[in-house]
Structure 1
Amino acid sequence: MKLIEQIDIQPQTAKWLYDLSQKGLLEVDNSFQRNYVWTEKNQIQLIESILIGYPIPEIYLWNTGTDEDTGDTKYSIIDGQQRCGAVFQYIANNYKLKASSLDPNNPKKGVIQDRLFKDLEADDKKAIWSYLFSIRLVRSQVERISIVNMFLRLNSNNMTLNPQELRNAEFEGEFMLLSSKLAELDFWEENKIFGVADRRRMRDVSFVSILLVFLKKGIEEDISNTNLNQIYDLYNDDYQDKETDEIKFKEILSVINAIIDNNNERIKILKRQVHFYTLFTVVFDILNNQDNLTDNQISNYRNFIDNYDNDALLEQYYPEQLSEIYHYKSLVKEGTRQKSNRFDRHRHLKKIMNK
C-alpha cells in the first residue's frame, strides 16, 4: 500500500492539539528536530495569522499507538513542531504580541499588540481555540523508516532545515548520539562558543561532528556535508572506539578551557571555528607525545592569540616565527573546509606553540 493511502486528512482545532499536549499524548520526536527553531518574531506572526484567519501549512502527526486501558491515542509530530509550539507557548502566556513584529497593515493590530493570551478580547481567545489546522494523520502501522523518509522529503528542499538538522532526522545511531552528547557539555556554554541561534539550528552538533571526524580519521579527512553523511552512516550502528573518543575529546576541551582561562578576548577569537578547530588539532597532537601542555606552550598560544591583531607585539614575541604567523593568518581567511589549509594551519600553529 502506498504511504499516501495510509494518511488521513482531518481538520482539528488548536484546542484539540493543546489538549493532547497537556495530557502528554503529543510527543516531539527529537530524532527529527532536536531544538525549537523559531524565534519569538516567528511565533508572533503565526498567532497573528490565526487571528486574521489566514491559512497555515498543514501539520503531520504519526499515530504511535492507543493505550488498551485508557483508550488514549498518542501522536508524534513529524512536521509542525514550531507551529504547535508557537500556539502552546502563547496560550501559556510566555510571550506578548509585540507591535514591532506585527504587520502594520493588520486591521486587528491595535487590539492585539503587546497582549498576552490572557489579555486578549474574548472573541480573539475563541478564535485561537477554534482555529482549524489541516492535520495529516499517519496511521500506526506505518513503519518508522517510512516516517523518516517522508520527513526528509518534506524538508529536503526547505531552506529552514540545514544539513545537520536533516542528518539528525536520518541518523539516530552511535555517532549521532555521541555528537549530541558532547555538544551538551558545559564547556560550550561557559565559554559562549555557540550562540542561541547556533544551538537552535544544531550548528554546535555539526561542529562537534567535524571535531570527531578529525579524531577518527585525521586532519586530511574530507569534512564536506556529503562525507559527514557517510561518516554518520559508517558509525551509525557500530562505533567501537566511542568511549575512547569521548574521553579524548573531553581531555582536549579541558586543556583548551585552561588556555582560555575565562578570558573574553580569547573566547572571541575561538568562537571562530577555524581557530578552534586548529587549536583542537594541535592540542591533540601534543597530548599524543606528552601528558599535558607545558606552561611555555600555553603561554606561547596566549601571547599569539591575545595579540592577534597587533603585528608590532607579535614581532616582539615571535621574531623567528613571523612567516608562520602571517601564513597562518592568511589561511584563516579561507576557512576550515580545504584540506591543505587545515594541514598548513596546524603545522604553523604547532611551531608557534613550541617556540
Structure 2
Amino acid sequence: MNEITLEQKQRAEKAIIEKQKEISFGLREWPIETILQKFGNGGDVDSDCELFIPDYQRDYKWDNRIASRFIESILLSLPIPYIYIADNFNEDPELDARIEIIDGSQRIRAIYYFVNNQLSLSELKELTELEGFLFKDLPAGRQRRFLRESLRIMELKSDDPDYKRDLFERINSGIKVLIPMEQRKGSESATSSFYLQVIEPCSKDPLFRELAPLSSNRRSNEDYAELVLRFFGYGERLEEYNSNVRKFLDQYFNDMANQPHNEEEIQKRKNKFNTVMQFVKQYFPYGFKKTATAKSTSRTFFESIALGVYFAIQENRNSTDGLITDNIIEWFNSDEYREVVTSDAANNTSKLKARINFVKDKLLGQ
C-alpha cells in the first residue's frame, strides 16, 4: 500500500473543513402539541401542512406493540432519540419554509395516531395499568402534560436534496432489522405449498407488478409477498381481523402452512387473484396507484381496490358481469374516496373495512 503524502493529507483536511461549512445544523425542542400542529392531518407531502413526510420515507410500519412502547417511553419521560428535519426553500411563498422529516416519521405518526385516538395501547412493559387506553381515556391533566412533553429536533440547514437523502441513508444504515414478511420468508412456514405455490408465484406475477409498482426498498423488503398475503388473509378472514396486522397475518400464514392444499385448492386461489388483477387492469386506469404518476403503491390503495373488487365479485355470484364500471374514475378521484383511503393510521378494523367496502359498494351500485 502506497504511503499517504503530506500533500494528500492537506487536501483531505481542506475537504473536511469545506464540507463542514456546507452542512449546518440547528438544535430545537418542540412540545408535542407544536409538532402535531405543524404535522396537520397526517403530514401528507401534497397537503398544506408545515411538517411533512417526503416521498423517500417509508410507509408507516410500526405495529401496535412498538408504537405503544414508544408512547409509554414518552409518558415515563424517558430519553427519545433526535428527530431530524430539514428546512425547505421554495420560490412559491405558499410552499416556502415547509419542514421535511428526514428521520422520525414513525415516531411522529405514532404520536399523531395516539392523540387522535387511533392507537390503543397494548403490550406495555411498565405501565400495564394503561392497557387498552386511548388518548381520550387519560385524565385531562395527563393529556395536557403529554402534549407539553418536548422532543429534541435536529434541523439540517440546507436545501440540497442530496444532503437530505444522504443523511436519511446514513441514519438508517445500521444493522437492518428484519420486517415481518422477511421473517415469514425465513420461517418453516415458507416451505409450505401455500407459500411456494400461492404466495410466491402471485407475488412475482408480471401483471400484478405492473399494476402495483414498488420502490426498490419496498421490493427488497418483500412487500410484493406482503401485499399478496394481505389479499388472501383479508379476503378469507376479514371478520376475524382485530386491528393488529402482524398478529393477524402471522396467524393466517401459519394456519395455511399447516393445512394440506391439493392442486385444485391452489389453482382456485390463484384464479381468484388473477381475476382481480385482470379486472383492475381493464377498469382502473392507474392500477393500484393513487395517481397516474405515482411511482410506488400505497398499501391502503391496494387493499381498498384489490379487496373491494374481490368482495364485489364474490357478492355478485362470483362474476364480474354487471359490476358498475363506468364511473370508476369519477369516484376514485373524489374527496370522499380519498378521505377514506389515505389514512393508514393504526390499521384499525373500521378503517380497513371502510376502505374495502367503499370500493365494493361502488362496484355493486350500492
TM-score (norm 2): 0.43
Which of these two proteins has the greater Rg computed from alpha carbons? 1
Query: TM-score, normalising length from structure 1?
Result: 0.44
